Amino acid sequence: MTNEWNTGALDMPRFTESGSAGDWQTPLSGLPRVQAACEPDAASAPTPICDWSLLGQTRGNGARLQHWLQLQASLTLTQRCQRCLEPMAVPLAVDRWFRFVADEATALAEDDTCEEDLLAISIEFDALNLLEDELLLAMPLIVSHGHCQPPPSAALGDDLPHPFAALAGLKLPKP
Ligand SMILES: [Zn+2]
C-alpha cells in the first residue's frame, strides 16, 4: 500500500489526530544500522524486505489529549550462528506502542513514572529511525540454531559484529 506520509519526517500530530495508518516495505539496504549488524556474506541472497506499519491515535481530550503511535514490523535477517558459524535466518518482530510528550526533557522526566515508552512529538518525526531502533532491540543477543555442533577449530567471535555493538547508546525498552 502506498500512502502520502514521509516516513523520515512524519507530521506526527496530524498523523495521530487524523487516526492515520500506513504500511511500508523497506529493503534492508534502507536500514543501514540494522544492515551493519547482519551477516555480510549473505549479499548474494535476495535483499530482505522489512514490512512495517504505523497506526496513530489520540486518547482523552482537551488538556488531557494524548498522542499514541503503534509500530509493527517484521524482518528476517541472515546472521551467523555463534556455535556452528553457519548462516541462519533470524526472524525479527516488533509490536510496540509509544506515547508522545512535548519534548525530550519531558520524556526523560516522565520515563520512570509510566509503563509505556515515551517519545518527543515532532512535525518531522523520523519513523525510519524509530524502526531501526526497535529492530536492533528485537535482535537476539545470542544467535544459535540450538541443535548444531561447533566446527572442529571454532574461532568464536571472530569478525562478526555483535548485535550489542549496534545497540550502543540506545535506550533499552521496558520489559
Ligand atoms: Zn548453528
Q: What is the per-residue pLDDT across 120-168, written as a single tens digit (0 to 9) for each?
A: 999 999 999 999 999 999 999 899 998 898 887 655 555 555 555 555 5
**Residue boundaries of the structural domains of the chain:** 12-144+158-167
- Residue 143 CA, ligand 1 centroid: distance in Å: 8
Which residue shows C-alpha cell 518527543?
120
Asked if residues 148 and 81 have their Cβ atoms less than 8 Å apart, the reply is yes
- Residue 32 CA, ligand 1 centroid: distance in Å: 25
Give the pLDDT confidence of 10-25 residue by residue, as tens digits: 999 999 999 999 999 9
Paired residues of 79 in beta bridges: 88
Collapsing DSSP to helix, strand or coil, 13 comes out as helix
- Residue 166 CA, ligand 1 centroid: distance in Å: 22
- Residue 162 CA, ligand 1 centroid: distance in Å: 16
Amino acid at 164: F
Asked if residues 26 and 54 have their Cβ atoms less than 8 Å apart, the reply is no
Give the pLDDT confidence of 40-73 residue by residue, as tens digits: 765 556 789 999 999 999 999 888 899 999 999 9
pLDDT band at 112 (very low <50, low <70, confident <90, very high): confident
Asked if residues 99 and 139 have their Cβ atoms less than 8 Å apart, the reply is no
**pLDDT (average), residues 100-113:** 89
pTM over 0.85: no
